Amino acid sequence: MAPRLIEALATTGPMAEIFCDESVLQAMLDFEVALARAEAKVGVIPQSAARAIAVAAKASAFDCAKLAESTLRAGTPGIAVSKALTEVVQSKDPAAAGFVHWGATSQDVADTALVLLLKRARPVLMRDLSRIGKALSRLSKQHKGTVMLGRTLLQAAPPITFGLKAAGWLSAIRYGQEQLERAFQDALVLQFGGATGTLASLGQDADAVAEALAENLGLRLPEPPWHSRRDRLAMLVCNCGVLTGSLGKIARDIALLMQNEVSEAFEAGGNGRGGSSAMPQKRNPIACSLALASANRVPGLVASFLSAMIQEHERGVGGWQAEWPILSSVIQATALALESVAEVAEGLSVDSKRMRANIENTQGRIFAERASMLLAQKLGKDAAFKALEEAARDSAKEKKRLAEVLAKMPEAAEQLGPRVLRDLEISEQYLGSAERFRRALLSDANTPERASEERSKSSRRKQNSVKQKKER
């Protein structure tokens, strides 16, 4: 489904479909159906009532615009939906209508529906995270020896490799993915507490109904319900904020590398991507700009969600009602950032010759640190630093290479010697631990896939242990 025009730069097609009106409504109806079936299984309501509710609970049979209007009056979508569903069931099976929403409260419907939407969103996010991981890993390996300028405070600095830069991006994404996975695992839980979170209306059948309901929806069953406890969702939102920040950092770096004066890396273009309405020559960083737009929006949304956590007693006034649009916006913005960066990483072209040329354009001044450290062994740190400051200024002023200027400075020429001066500006000789760091960042032991595999093994070991104890 295409997003609404006003949201065209705020979401993706798959996420627009997940959070569209019909999808949100169906998630609430799915809760009502799962509840009825769970209660019928336990014997709380008749099986015939559960069947009638299931037949009626189809989003296409409801007027979403009317429900939205009723929600605004009621202050919660759960009231509007349960009332509308009751009316539909009433028209087909009056006896079953009285069992709609049996023992639940409106927040049970709304919160669980939101969790079901998050459950659908999760694989979409993880798919693009996987795409990014594979693309950045490939780029890092492909360019492990591609030297480029390091840049500090946007100024030229000693060389690094593009492979190291890509590995740094990847490491942050992997970390964000692992934290997001954990946050999803914690957040995908059933909300079912009844009026005040005690399930008193279901009496001795409460636990059995809750267990069956969680099983029907494929969600974990927390204990107790979490009506005014919002920390699980807050952690998910916060992790989205951190992840979009990491994605924004990648987008910012690449957008800067795409500047005409730099021209070291480029997004893939074509098919309407990257053009200008007025300047035919332009190749704009469009996917980067979309990722940056998300990274700019999400922190404010995170702050809004955290502000809404302070909810009163057993049911919040205003805080809970604020969450739906905030959380849906955060997830959709995160998805847009992920999809955009995945597109960039998979189609990125790297101009290694231009990277080398930009190093050469500094006329060796980026190796002033190297010369200073070598000279400090003879002259002392302060004297060496002052000598290199002077040499760097003369190099820029006279448009001569740093080594050439140093060769004419008696104290430098004498202490360094012609061989050192000859090799001073060879980038590959001043990369330090760049390759070791790159390999460490790419280490398989740090990947979310490995961590997930280890968690699965641990879970299987626990299950086998429990099984063996039962058998004994």
- Match 């989003």 to its residue by tokens: 59
The distance between the two most distant Cα atoms of the chain, rounded to a whole number of Å, is 103
- Cβ distance 406 to 367 under 8 Å? no
Q: Compute CA distances 303 → 107, 153, 298, 309, whole Å.
A: 23, 28, 9, 10
Distance CA 291, CA 242 (A): 13
- Match 């309407």 to its residue by tokens: 272
Pairing status of strand 147-152 against strand 155-161: antiparallel
Q: Compute CA distances 232 → 135, 237, 316, 387, 452, whole Å.
A: 31, 9, 16, 58, 20
- Cβ distance 107 to 320 under 8 Å? yes
Known catalytic residue: 276? yes
Amino acid present at 164: L
Q: Compute CA distances 358 → 363, 409, 461, whole Å.
A: 9, 26, 55
3-state secondary structure 248-269: HHHHHHHHHHCCCCCCCEECCC
Contacts of residue 118, Cβ cutoff 8 Å, sequence gap at least 6: 184, 187, 188, 236, 327, 331
User: Angle at CA 340, nearest 5°, toward 339 and 345?
Assistant: 100
- Match 């490939």 to its residue by tokens: 138
User: Angle at CA 370, nearest 5°, toward 364 and 371?
Assistant: 80
Query: Among 276, 349, 443, 456, which one carries the catalytic annotation?
Result: 276
Q: Compute CA distances 116 → 123, 130, 142, whole Å.
A: 12, 22, 40
Query: Among 315, 365, 370, 438, which one carries the catalytic annotation?
Result: 315
153 dihedral zone (left: phi>0; alpha: psi -120 to 50; beta): left
The β-bridge partners of 266 are 349
End-to-end C-alpha distance for the chain, whole angstroms: 54
Residues noted as catalytic: 276, 315
